[in-house]
């Protein structure tokens, strides 16, 4: 089939859930040849079901972006790749003091270093063909930070900086680079796929109560108000088809609001508001923990008396 007539091939990482899964389905619906990758194909069930419901197909492939050999094998197998969507990412919650060095490295290797290596592997064929697009899924956290997720925020800051830098480098070769920066959305990265640091509940840590308060704030206030991820997937697929996409896209009401405040010089006010809500959540969680403790004591006393 002539190059000009073939479907554009899209390789998407992190397709077991969330933005990756939804983008893979929408891209297939839009007529792209989709290579949907994930670290563990044992988690491919939801994607298979979504593709079946949509009546479309995609090629599912195992890819660990922290493994150079895995990257080499997949890129060699599916080259040329017209569009690369770097979506894979992990989040480990906890204060920066409570994260171990291994946990911090794991976040950075997945959310930044692995993405750099995969992009380095894909781009040469784009340069050779003088066409291509890289879409990096960053985050609002990469713009304004994210308390109790410093490693995640740092990795997304790095990804935004990487996107801005290589965008200029790849201009001579007609390779477009786009940074997509969503706010909070109901994806698994803030639910089932979110991991607590191994020292999250360490009572010796000065952040013990604050870690718990942050988690309560997420569960009570943030996750219920998070946006629906389908809108982000739709926008990513829309970007794929643009001849001249914007440099970056800040998506979601919360993301636009927070970045606007930063631009207006109100970052300190925003930080104070977040801290205020965190204090309330901490006090609420302390009361909850004390109530549970008293109930256990009461139950234990009643059991002994009987």
Q: How far is CA 52 from CA 49, 139, 157, 305, in A?
A: 5, 30, 36, 60
**Containing H/E element for 12?**
strand 9-12
**pLDDT average, residue stretch 132-144:** 95
Of 230, 138, 135, nearest to 187 (Cα)? 230
Whether the per-residue pLDDT at 144 is higher than 50: the answer is yes
Give me the residues paired with residue 176 across strands. 133
| Per-residue DSSP letter, 87 | -
DSSP 119-177: HHHHHHHHHHHT-EEEEEE--THHHH--TT-HHHHHHHHHHHHHHHHHHHHTGGGTEEE
Of 10, 56, 55, nearest to 37 (Cα)? 10
Question: Which residues form the catalytic set?
Answer: 152
Please, what is the average pLDDT of the chain? 91
Whether the per-residue pLDDT at 190 is higher than 60: the answer is no
More confident residue, 256 or 117: 117
**pLDDT average, residue stretch 163-175:** 97
For 256-276, how does the pLDDT look when each residue is reduced to its tens digit (9 = 90+)? 988 998 889 998 998 999 899
| Per-residue DSSP letter, 243 | S
Domains and CATH numbers, the chain: 9-301 (3.40.50.720)
Q: Of 55-64, 70-79, 140-149, 284-293, which range is least confident?
A: 284-293
Q: How far is CA 296 from the centre of its chain?
A: 39
- The whole-number pLDDT of residue 301 equals 66
**pLDDT average, residue stretch 142-167:** 95
% of the chain residues with pLDDT over 70:
93
Rounded CA Rg of the chain? 22
Token representation of residue 212: 């718990």
d(C-alpha 10, C-alpha 24), whole Å: 9
What sign for the dihedral angle of Cα 294, 299, 302, 304? negative
């Amino acid at each position: 089939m002539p190059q000009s007539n073939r479907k554009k091939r899209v390789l998407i990482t992190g397709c077991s859930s969330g933005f990756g899964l939804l983008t893979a389905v929408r891209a297939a619906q839009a007529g792209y040849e989709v290579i949907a990758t994930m670290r563990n194909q044992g988690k491919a069930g939801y994607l298979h079901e979504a593709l079946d419901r949509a009546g479309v197909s995609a090629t599912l492939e195992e890819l660990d972006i922290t493994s150079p050999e895995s990257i080499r094998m997949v890129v060699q197998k599916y080259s040329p790749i017209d569009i690369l969507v770097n979506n894979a990412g992990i989040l480990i919650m906890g204060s920066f003091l409570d994260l171990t060095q291994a946990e911090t490295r794991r976040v950075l290797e997945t959310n930044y270093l692995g993405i750099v290596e995969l992009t380095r592997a894909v781009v040469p064929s784009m340069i050779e063909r003088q066409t291509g697009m890289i879409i990096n899924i960053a985050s609002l956290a990469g713009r304004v930070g994210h308390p109790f997720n410093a490693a995640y925020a740092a990795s997304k800051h790095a990804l935004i900086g990487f996107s801005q830098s290589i965008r200029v480098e790849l201009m001579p070769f007609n390779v477009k680079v786009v940074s997509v920066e969503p706010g909070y959305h109901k994806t698994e990265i803030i639910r089932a796929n979110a991991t607590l640091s191994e020292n999250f509940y360490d009572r010796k840590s000065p952040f013990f109560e604050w870690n718990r308060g942050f988690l309560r704030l997420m569960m009570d206030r943030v996750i219920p108000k998070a946006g629906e991820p389908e809108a982000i997937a739709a926008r990513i697929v829309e970007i794929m088809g643009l001849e001249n996409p914007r440099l970056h896209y800040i998506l979601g009401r919360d993301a636009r609001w927070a970045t606007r405040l930063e631009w207006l010089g109100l970052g300190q006010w925003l930080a104070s508001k977040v801290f205020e809500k965190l204090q309330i959540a901490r006090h609420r969680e302390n009361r909850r923990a004390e109530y549970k403790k008293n109930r256990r004591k009461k139950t234990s006393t009643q059991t002994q008396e009987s």
